[in-house]
Amino acid sequence: MKGERVVGGLSCGQVLDRLSDYLDGELDVAARGAVEEHLRGCDGCARFGGELRATVRALREHLAAAPSPPARVRRRLAEALDVDPRSEE
């Protein structure tokens, strides 16, 4: 990665690898602290992380506000999921 920095013991690439888990709150305390230290010291990663956080938040809000499919579609989907895959052979 061009311009890669090591801050807080993590390189930019390592932070990017962990960013999704960080935003989802899935890192242990030590890993979370290392990512946060890197983000405090690396403007590029902090900017990207902020943009990713905003995108994820907007997507979650959009999906939560999406209307649920009509009952007939839900019923057909439930029926399709109950089909034994071996009967399709």
Half-sphere exposure of 10 (CA within 13 A, CB side): 23
Residue 22 lies in a domain: yes
Q: What are the pLDDT digits (tens) for 64-80?
A: 888 888 889 888 888 88
Q: What are the pLDDT digits (tens) for 1-46?
A: 677 889 999 999 999 999 999 999 999 999 999 999 999 999 999 9
Q: Is the pLDDT of residue 87 over 60?
A: no
Tell me which residue range forms the domain holding 26. Answer: 6-82
Amino acid in the structure at residue 86: R
Residue 13 lies in a domain: yes
pLDDT bracket for residue 83 (50, 70, 90): low
Residue 89 lies in a domain: no
Residue 31 lies in a domain: yes
Neighbours of 57 (CB within 10 A): 11
Whether the model pTM is above 0.85: no
Residue 87 lies in a domain: no
Alpha carbon of residue 7 to chain centroid: 22
